[in-house]
Amino acid sequence: MLAEQKYWNPVLETIPKEKIRQLQLKKFKQIFKWAYDRSKFHRQLYDRAGIKPNDIRSFADIKQVPKVEKAMMRDIQRKDPFPYGDALCVPLEDVAVFRQTSGTTGQPVYQPDTWQDWEWWAECWSYILWAQGYRPRDRVFIPFGYNIFVAFWAGHYAAEKLGCEVVPGGVLDTKARILKIQELQATAMMGTPTYILGMAETARSKMNLDPSKLTIEKITCAGECGASIPSTKKRLEDAWGAKVYDHAGATEIGAWSFECTEQPGGLHVNEPLFLVEIEDVETGEIIEEPGRRGKMIITALDRQAQPCVRFDSKDVIEWASEPCPCGRTTRLIKGGVVGRADDITKVKGVLLAPSAIEEVVRAIKGLSDEYEVIVDKIGDNEQIKLRVEVLPEAEKQCTLIEAELVDQLRLKTNLRYDIEICGCETLPRYEVKAKRFKDLRKKD
């Protein structure tokens, strides 16, 4: 019976590592040739670097292939074949699905997919959901605004493909979504950590309802690092009385990673479908060993309409040293995506990853889930202000909380912060991805 099967794809998820590498090399050659033969954009890029499909003979040859940056994709779009430009590898009439990136870092990038690509998206998500314990008996509620961003669209299709019953919670407001979960006794849902925490807050403060008493058993989070940050994961799990799992993906890449039910403190890379390389930001060297952070260069090995070949994702990751007890042979990245290379910034000469601040704030009882970080330069002095909200029951402990924050932040980030303690519900709330980190030094 399918439902008793441990892995979505028992062959690909347990094959020996050497076999995964062979498969990746074979598929890389195919997708590289596909892009070279069919897209003017890719052919020009590779010709300039003097590399042709036949030059890829071993794994070591792959790093000679030029990377593709998001800005390059922006430049070619809104041109013929309209609106995708000449990275398109299929006739325009084969494009079945339009999506675009969320535009967090600038002008959105368009993403065309053929029907085959779209089925591939759903297949990628099937690995994720199966590994997180979704089975045909589940009733999955999807509380997101179905729109132009890919977000949980492919998760929706994958849940249907698994045989789950899927409830699209599209245009409903948060209260209506919570009531629907209650009414239908939904067992699983998907959302950004920010929104899932926000839903719990709404249930408690505006509906006098304890979300942990509802029937949700598992939650898949994506879109932000939160579900891989231990203190945020704990808040999410405590709030909903459910298991919370992380997944990282992107519109222009696909759904490339997932946490499994073992919760190994990291994400499996779906290696038979994606090639992940970690590049040292300073030297450009490809990092093979565990414990060294770098940015992710990724290839979607099967995506055809607008291929993703050595895409510079700017996601900061590192390899884990131990295999996962679940038995999957695919490699784990430790602690999920730690941040984006753009967000990891130097303050007073010290490297600061915003996720480290989140880890501290969410570990302190008496604080709400929201916070805000503002980095600024006054004269020659760089300053970091951290705004947090204290819960009504902890208002008398503000001094203690502030001291704990200062201590823990110094320990985890080696920096000093000005702490501002605000009243409950004074900081902004977010529907999808939060913007909690503001760097005012970049204003000019």
Shortest Å, Cβ 268 to Zn ion: 6
Three-class HEC string of 130-164: HHCCCCCCCEEEECCCCCCECCCHHHHHHHHHHCC
SS3 state of residue 194 = helix
Which one, 322 or 418, has the nearer CB to Zn ion? 322
Rounded Cα gap, residues 10 and 179, in angstroms? 38
Shortest Å, Cβ 264 to Zn ion: 5
Which one, 296 or 326, has the nearer CB to Zn ion? 326
SS3 state of residue 289 = coil
Which one, 42 or 328, has the nearer CB to Zn ion? 328
Which one, 95 or 260, has the nearer CB to Zn ion? 260
- Nearest CA to 393 out of 423, 370, 361 is that of 423
In eight-state DSSP terms, residue 413 is H
Rounded Cα gap, residues 262 and 5, in angstroms? 16
Which residues are near Zn ion by CB under 5 A? 260, 262, 324, 326, 328
Shortest Å, Cβ 145 to Zn ion: 31
Shortest Å, Cβ 260 to Zn ion: 3
Which one, 328 or 436, has the nearer CB to Zn ion? 328
Which one, 158 or 269, has the nearer CB to Zn ion? 269
Cα separations in angstroms, 21 against 58, 89, 425: 10, 26, 50
Shortest Å, Cβ 209 to Zn ion: 34
Ordered DSSP codes for 230-281:
HHHHHHHHHHHTSEEEE---BTTTB--EE--TT--SEEEE-TTTEEEEEE-T
In eight-state DSSP terms, residue 331 is P
Shortest Å, Cβ 333 to Zn ion: 12
Shortest Å, Cβ 23 to Zn ion: 19
Which one, 324 or 333, has the nearer CB to Zn ion? 324
In eight-state DSSP terms, residue 286 is B
